């Protein structure tokens, strides 16, 4: 491995962006807790706060996919052949 490379096909700049992204995301976690708590106080129940949070998050993901020129949706058959537990990530989050 030569200097300036982090891994196959990854430059130092790519690595730095990944590290900065991780640090930035980690720094926002305490803010997320506060924002979610304020939302809960505003709408009255944790369940409704979760609903609005997931709704806005889904909209943000759709927008991010559209803006970045995301790949086309996979064929439904590819998803239906997977084990059920692979789809629990959203619930676990």
pLDDT in tens, 41-74: 999 999 999 999 999 999 998 898 888 887 777 7
46: Cβ contacts below 8 Å, ≥ 6 apart: 40
- Tokens for 40, please give them: 């809960």
User: Are 49 and 33 contacting, i.e. CB atoms less than 8 angstroms apart?
Assistant: no
Task: Give the residue-averaged pLDDT of 5-33.
Answer: 79
Angstrom CA distances, 29 to 26, 34, 65, stand at: 5, 9, 22
The burial class, CB within 10 Å (0-12 / 13-18 / 19+), for 15 is: middle
- Size of the chain in residues: 93
- pLDDT, position 49: 94
């Amino acid at each position: 491995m030569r200097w300036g490379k982090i891994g196959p096909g990854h430059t130092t700049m790519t690595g730095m962006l990944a590290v900065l992204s991780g640090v930035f995301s980690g720094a926002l976690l305490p803010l997320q807790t506060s924002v979610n708590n304020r939302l809960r106080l505003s709408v009255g129940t944790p369940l409704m706060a979760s609903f609005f949070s997931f709704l806005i998050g889904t909209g943000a993901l759709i927008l991010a996919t559209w803006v970045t020129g995301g790949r086309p949706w996979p064929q439904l058959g590819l998803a239906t052949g997977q084990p059920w537990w692979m789809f629990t990530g959203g619930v676990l989050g």
